[in-house]
Amino acid sequence: MRPARLSLADVLRVGGAGLRTRPLRVFLSALGIAIGIAAMISVVGVSSSSRAELDRTLDRLGTNLLTVGPGQTLFGDDSRLPKESLSMVARIGPVESVSAVGRVRDTAVYRNEHIPRGQTGSIAVVAARLDLLDTVATEVASGSWLTSATNEYPGVVLGATAARRLDIRVPGIRVWLGGKWFSVVGILRPGQLAPELDQAAMVGWPAAERYLAFDGHPTMIYTRSRESAVEDVRSVLAATANPEQPNEVQVSRPSDALEAQRATDATLNALLLGLGAVALLVGGVGVANTMVISVLERRAEIGLRRSLGATRGQIRLQFLAESLLLSALGGLGGVALGVGVTAIYAATQGWPTVVPPLATVGGVVATLLIGAAAGLYPAVRAARLSPTEALAAP
């Protein structure tokens, strides 16, 4: 006689019946798998959400900001950029905007004229171009930026840190700068790509030359170029800014720090994925343990089914189906838990919630593979039991 063939519905019904008889053990085993999958999903999700927030910030600020500053001479002395370097950099074809600041040396800013000279608060006094804010993508928190009027006269804009150290919260207050009274016309928001401006007091370029004996040499040039030509512009900036001594020019790219942050996130992501894999392995051991014990406890059931005509293949399929169903429960629960953790954490940080579909599908597939591997031995062991041996078991 040819044995009856089990349909997919029959396999699922038989496998599910075995799980319903031991709900607590099944729950604990599925929980072990869910924790492992949730760990991986949440790690990937939080990392992806953080990266999405970073990309959103980069899209807003731009990754095409390059800075040019003076380096050192062969003898270790500080070099200077030529006065014409700003106009020469502006002539580079792909450069879309360029601005600069110049350090006003031997000049400090104080809350009033009675503050001792040594208590400068590490606030730098710099001459600034009118188009500086547009180039570095920084905004004014209160007041206004330098205008064609305040650019010529004793007006100053404070960076966020400088204003806090001077205990100035609103514009209109005067500060003692370079032995003269300057009126605060604005306070900037904290800068993200030009943080050095946070600790600076910025005066107009002509005003710095007139009132503070500024020498006119820029100490930092900010350029923005076309995204596709950033590296090309970077390669010629030093020679353009100082053709006579290009080796004395430092060219940096603030967005390189953001790329380094991404690399750090990738390393941390790999580490945490390893921890998730360990948790997933523990869940697989739990599945194997549950299925082995199930075979030992249900030898009488196995013997009865064999005596009624069930083949070894059908018994093996039954226990393998139980293992896969148990793993699927843990995997789906882990995916839901991981997505929930990611959504909650992203919401608390103000990030967009991003969970790659590949991670969720991969998590479920991983649980099924582990379930198949963990349930293979118990299924084979159950199929090898003879009817007489199984029915004779106590």
DSSP-assigned letter for residue 328: H
Residue 68: inside a domain: no
Same domain? 233 vs 87: yes
Q: Give the burial string for 314-344 (b: 16+ CB within 10 Å, else e).
A: bbbbbbbbbbbbbbbbbbbbbbebbbebbbe
Check whether residue 207 and residue 333 sit in a common domain.
no
Same domain for 347 and 288: yes
What integer pLDDT is reported at residue 370 of this predicted model?
Answer: 76
Distance of CA 183 to the CA centre of its chain: 40
Residue span of the structural domain in which 112 resides:
80-244
Query: Tokens 């730098």 sit at which residue?
Result: 124
Count of other CB atoms within 10 angstroms of residue 289: 15
Residues 35, 161, single domain; the answer is no
Is 178 within the bounds of a domain?
yes
Neighbouring CB atoms inside 10 A of 293's CB total 13
Q: Is residue 252 part of a domain?
A: no
Residue 73 belongs to a domain: no
The Cα–Cα gap between 148 and 200 comes to: 20
In a domain, 134, yes or no: yes
Does the residue 70 lie in any domain?
Answer: no
User: Which domain-ending residue is among 186, 211, 244?
Assistant: 244
Do 263 and 116 sit in the same domain of this protein? Answer: no
Instruction: Say whether both 292 and 147 belong to one domain.
Output: no
- 137 and 28 in a single domain? The answer is no
As for how many domains the chain has, the answer is 2
Residues found in the chain: 394
Over the chain (394 residues), what is each successive 10-residue block's mean pLDDT?
A: 63 72 78 79 79 69 81 79 93 92 93 88 93 90 92 94 94 93 95 87 95 94 87 90 90 63 59 61 65 67 69 76 82 88 90 82 78 74 67 55
Q: Which residue, 191, 172, 169, is CA-closest to 181? A: 172
Tell whether 229 is covered by a domain: yes
pLDDT at 374: 72
- pLDDT at position 188: 95
Determine the pLDDT at residue 210: 93
User: What residues does 252 pair with on adjacent strands?
Assistant: 67
Quick one: 95 and 226 in the same domain?
yes
